[in-house]
Amino acid sequence: MSEAPRTLLKALVLQRHWSYRDFAKEFERMGRRLKENCISVSEAQFRRWTAGTLQQLPAAAACRVLQAMFDANAEELFQPPSPDASAPALNLEAEIDMTARDAQTEASAAASASISDTTVDQLRDDVRRLARHYHTKAPSDVLHSARSLRESIEQYRDRTQVPVQQQELLILAGQACAILATAAFDLGSFDNATSLARSAALYGETARFAPLQAFAAGTQAYIAYFSGRPAEAANCARRGAAFPGLGDVAQRRLAAIEARAYGHLGDTASAQRALMRSTETNTGATDDLHDGVGGEFGFSEERLAMSNGSTCILLGDGAKAEEAAQRALDLVSARPSAARSLAVIGSAAADLATGRLMRGDLNGAADSLNRVWDVPVNQRATGLLARSCQVRAALTASRYRGAPLASEIGEHLEDFNRVAHHQLSGATLTLPVLGS
pLDDT tier, 429 (very low <50, low <70, confident <90, very high otherwise): very low
Residue 143 is predicted with a pLDDT of 94
Least confident of 107-116, 241-250, 293-302: 107-116
Give me the mean pLDDT over the 235-243 stretch.
97
pLDDT tier, 38 (very low <50, low <70, confident <90, very high otherwise): confident
Helix 60-70 / helix 8-15 crossing angle, nearest 10 deg: 50
CA diameter of the chain: 111
pLDDT tier, 111 (very low <50, low <70, confident <90, very high otherwise): low
In 3D, which of 249, 254, 262, 225 has the Cα closest to residue 237? 254
Q: What is the DSSP string of 258-320?
A: HHHHHHHHT-HHHHHHHHHHHHH-------TTTTTT-GGGS--HHHHHHHHHHHHHHTT-HHH
Cβ(146)–Cβ(179) below 8 Å: yes
Per-residue pLDDT for 126 more than 80?
yes
> Measured between alpha carbons, how far is 120 from 114 in angstroms, rounded to an integer?
11
Q: Is the dihedral of CA 97, 102, 108, 111 positive or negative?
A: negative
Least confident of 8-12, 38-42, 104-108, 131-135: 104-108
Torsion of CA 11, 16, 17, 18, to 10 degrees: -90
> Measured between alpha carbons, how far is 66 from 399 in angstroms, rounded to an integer?
95
Give the tens place of pLDDT for each residue, 317-345.
999 999 999 999 999 999 999 889 999 99
What CATH class is the domain 116-299? mainly alpha
Give me the mean pLDDT over the 121-128 stretch.
96
Q: What's the predicted TM-score (pTM) here?
A: 0.74
pLDDT tier, 398 (very low <50, low <70, confident <90, very high otherwise): very high
> Measured between alpha carbons, how far is 166 from 420 in angstroms, rounded to an integer?
40
